């Protein structure tokens, strides 16, 4: 699957108009057609697309993602420098969205006609409808401008290079608004999914049997019903992990967070094909790994599901 993604991405990017030679010529203030053609020849862009693709796939299989045409650095090195920053942003956001969204959905399903259910439903509709970049800017206006509780951008305070616990504190402080912004839309979806599934599970025969046996209501809800209700949420979270990585592009741009999202934006603007291909490859690998982990988690949550089945 990953190899197929690499080949497809290469042909799609090759079909897009413009390349790094046009960007370099524009930054230089202009260039003649011969000069632009000379740049393409120096960078190997004058070869056929099939030959370029064959060379690139061969290098990828050897673990070589090539050199960035704009930064003149190893694509692997650039990605490894930014990948931890993106994971620091995406993983807490997804964890908060799954845990809190499931909890809200379960509680609203337990009292489907109460005021709490109405509040969760309203929050879900607003959170799902609000674009990530819009909610990020609203959070910036409220909590960084009107009430300067949290910093507006970056990972560290301006002009500082902290270490140890001070660095951890500054990263955590700068991470609050981006994580809230990224998690809101997914939290809304998971709460709705958990609520719908929980309503279905609470009406099933084995739940009625558990209640008839005299089990405590908390045990019925959280021990018997929750395990089955959470499976669709886990499935949705695994499928949407790639969406979260893509959403990080907008969040990192709004909050000036130095992750893969900002790097991807720069790569697109500069027509840096090797860097774009490397970023797409890493994203694909992350999605495949997460889906494998989700399959494993199924067997943990539901013993009836066997890994070898």
The predicted structure's pLDDT at residue 208 = 79
Torsion 146-149-154-160 (CA) sign: positive
Residues 283 and 160 in one domain: yes
**Residues of the domain holding 108:** 82-301
Residues 98 and 154 in one domain: yes
- Residue 90 covered by a domain: yes
d(C-alpha 103, C-alpha 109), whole Å: 10
- Which tens digit of pLDDT belongs to each residue from 85-134? 988 998 899 899 888 888 888 888 877 777 888 888 888 888 878 888 88
- Residue 75 covered by a domain: no
**At how many degrees (to 10) do helices 75-110 and 164-202 cross?**
40
The predicted structure's pLDDT at residue 241 = 76
Q: What are phi and psi of 240, to 5 degrees?
A: -95, 5
Residues 33 and 171 in one domain: no
Whether the pLDDT of residue 7 is over 60: the answer is: yes
The predicted structure's pLDDT at residue 141 = 92
Mean pLDDT of the chain: 81
The predicted structure's pLDDT at residue 205 = 78
Whether the pLDDT of residue 30 is over 70: the answer is: no
Residues 7 and 89 in one domain: no
Whether the pLDDT of residue 29 is over 70: the answer is: no
Residues 128 and 182 in one domain: yes
- Which tens digit of pLDDT belongs to each residue from 122-168? 888 888 788 888 888 999 999 988 998 998 888 888 877 788 888 88
- Residue 68 covered by a domain: no
Residues 111 and 149 in one domain: yes
What's the distance, Cα to Cα, between the start and end of the chain in Å? 21
Residue 74, beta-bridge partner list: 67
Find the CATH number of the domain harbouring 214: 1.10.3720.10
Three-state SS at 67 = strand
Residues 209 and 239 in one domain: yes
- Residue 168 covered by a domain: yes
The predicted structure's pLDDT at residue 178 = 92
- How many CA atoms lie within 13 Å of 215's alpha carbon, on the beta-carbon side? 17
Backbone conformation region of residue 164, classed left if phi is above 0, alpha if psi is from -120 to 50, else beta: left
- Which tens digit of pLDDT belongs to each residue from 284-300? 888 888 888 877 777 77
pLDDT greater at residue 248 or residue 36: 248
d(C-alpha 202, C-alpha 224), whole Å: 9
Whether the pLDDT of residue 46 is over 80: the answer is: no
Q: Under a CB-based contact definition with an 8 Å cutoff, are residues 235 and 295 in contact?
A: no
pLDDT greater at residue 55 or residue 38: 55
Residues 147 and 227 in one domain: yes
- Residue 71 covered by a domain: no
Residues 152 and 11 in one domain: no
CA 86 to chain centre: 8
Residues 208 and 89 in one domain: yes
The predicted structure's pLDDT at residue 309 = 52
Which range of 72-76, 185-189, 202-206, 240-244 scores highest in mean pLDDT? It is 72-76
| Residue/partner pairs of 168-174 with CB below 8 Å, 24 or more apart | 171/88, 174/150, 174/255, 174/257
d(C-alpha 260, C-alpha 159), whole Å: 22
- Which tens digit of pLDDT belongs to each residue from 202-245? 777 777 787 788 777 777 777 777 777 777 887 788 777 777 77
Residues 187 and 287 in one domain: yes
Residues 89 and 47 in one domain: no
Boundary of a domain, candidates 61, 94, 110: 61
Structural domain total, the chain: 2
The predicted structure's pLDDT at residue 272 = 81
- Residue 306 covered by a domain: no
């Amino acid at each position: 699957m990953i190899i197929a993604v690499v080949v497809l991405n290469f042909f799609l990017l090759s079909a897009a108009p413009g390349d790094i030679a046009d960007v370099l010529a524009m930054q230089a203030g202009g260039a003649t057609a011969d000069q632009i053609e000379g740049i393409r020849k120096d960078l190997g862009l004058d070869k056929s697309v099939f030959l370029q693709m064959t060379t690139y796939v061969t290098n990828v299989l050897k673990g070589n993602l090539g050199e960035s045409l704009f930064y003149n650095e190893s694509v692997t090195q650039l990605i490894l420098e930014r990948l931890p920053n993106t994971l620091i942003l995406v993983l807490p956001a997804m964890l908060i969205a799954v845990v809190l969204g499931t909890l809200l959905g379960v509680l609203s399903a337990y009292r489907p006609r109460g005021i709490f259910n109405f509040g969760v439903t309203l929050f879900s509709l607003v959170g799902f409808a609000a674009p990530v970049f819009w909610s990020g800017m609203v959070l910036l206006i409220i909590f960084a401008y009107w009430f300067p509780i949290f910093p507006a951008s970056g990972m560290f305070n301006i002009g500082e290079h902290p270490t140890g616990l001070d660095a951890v504190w500054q990263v955590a402080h700068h991470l609050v608004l981006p994580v809230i912004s990224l998690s809101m839309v997914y939290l809304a979806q998971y709460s709705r999914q958990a609520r719908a599934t929980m309503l279905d599970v609470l009406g099933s025969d084995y739940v009625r049997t558990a209640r008839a046996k005299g089990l405590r209501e908390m045990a019925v809800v959280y021990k018997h019903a929750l395990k089955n209700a959470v499976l669709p949420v886990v499935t949705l979270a695994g499928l949407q992990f790639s969406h979260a990585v893509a959403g990080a592009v907008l969040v990192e741009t709004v909050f000036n967070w130095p992750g893969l999202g900002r790097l991807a934006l720069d790569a697109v603007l500069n027509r840096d094909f090797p860097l774009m291909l490397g970023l797409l490859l890493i994203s694909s690998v992350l999605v495949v790994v997460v889906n494998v982990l989700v399959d494993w988690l199924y067997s943990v949550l539901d013993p009836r599901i066997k890994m070898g089945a």
